[in-house]
Structure 1
Amino acid sequence: MRRAAAGVVLGLSVAVGAPVAWQVTEEPVAAGASVERALSAPVPPSVPSGEGPAVAPASTLPPVTVRDAAPAATAPAPVPVRLAVPALGIEAPVDPVGVRGDGQMALPDDVDRVGWYRFGPAPGTAGSTVLAGHVDDRDQGLGVLAPLRDAAVGDRIEVIDAAGAATGWRVVSRDVIEKRALPLDQLFGRAGPPRLVLLTCGGPFLPDLGAYRDNVVVVAEPLP
């Protein structure tokens, strides 16, 4: 069943009881543009009130071309199968995932694997491609995405798809945001320029909830 992006809740934690002690030092400050700004599509210039675009005289307009109005069939974009962030030592297989019964984004149980939100865009297509994974697990230890908290603006990210093609990305934003304050509509947006969003847990661990309070959010744009 296709779920609306706004309905996705990012729990992103399987830690129960005491978490792995990866939050020993203070959480790093944000880097680069704010997440909201990094994910905002550029707005086209508006036409001043009372003015419209110039129209050529009818005699100079080219002849109208008639074509079939039916949309052309397009092949679906290959799904991502591997993620690499060399500067952070991240290299992990990627699995397509959906939404759990409780409304949270489903993630691979293995903390060394990353989930791609399969109801959203594939890498390189319009909108936000979302890849997420567990930060840690009491039994398995640190997750492959734990180093995201140290991502720096300019870090290169590479995503390999099922066809073997690679897309390159550059980090433009890193932030730690309370889960209840996440801009979900933008994080899971399906319009605008291509963006890559990487997510894992961060901030303090809340024993009463058995989960971390925040999410580490990294946003990247395509390399030229």
Structure 2
Amino acid sequence: MTEFPASLLLGYRDFMSGRYLEERERYRMLAETGQQPHTMMIACCDSRAAPETIFNCGPGELFVVRNVANLVPPYEPDGQFHATSAALEYAVQALKIRDIVVMGHGRCGGIQTALDPLDEPLSPGDFIGKWMGMLRSTAEQIPSTAIMTQAERQTALERVSIRNSIANLRTFPCVRILEERGSMRLHGAWFDISTGELWVMDAKTGDFIRPEIAEPALSA
């Protein structure tokens, strides 16, 4: 039998003696009543950009789907396998979530691949290459390094791809209809791993801005 990673077992031990102990009743309630998360988060697989950590959310608060480069494919009911689309369908239709956030991040390896495709696929299936092909036409519109640095190009595509994914969300009838009724809200966010800065997308202009975050009220 393959040995389970020791670091994970140690983490589990700390979890059980720490957070689980503190929130035991909440876990039990969630087990009995089911989940009712307030937000769906479409984020990247990158281990440095975990939404639950960034937004300090507890169990049952976020419904998270993570894929390479936090992409949302267009609506394609073609009988193939669509993991992100399935998660979106469940979040909207079953969980009745009405806020969806597409969150990208700085220094995304998937976005880098879209800008500068690998000479050779990582495997014969070339799953990453095909997945990032959704951004091929968009990446080609980002100016070359003769005008922008490589880092500037990457940040630009990281943010443009968020807007692209939000546009793709609107191709899903269940999302489009609810948004038109005013009962669904779509959001974009970009997290800078190196500084911890969070930028959010202005719904009207598509620009990314630093949000004003209210300080917690002092108790009397």
What TM-score do you get using the length of structure 1 for normalisation?
0.28
Q: Greater relative contact order (Cα 8 A, min sep 6): structure 1 or 2?
A: 1
Greater helix percent: which structure? 2
Greater strand percent: which structure? 1
Which structure would you say has the larger Rg? 1
What TM-score do you get using the length of structure 2 for normalisation?
0.28
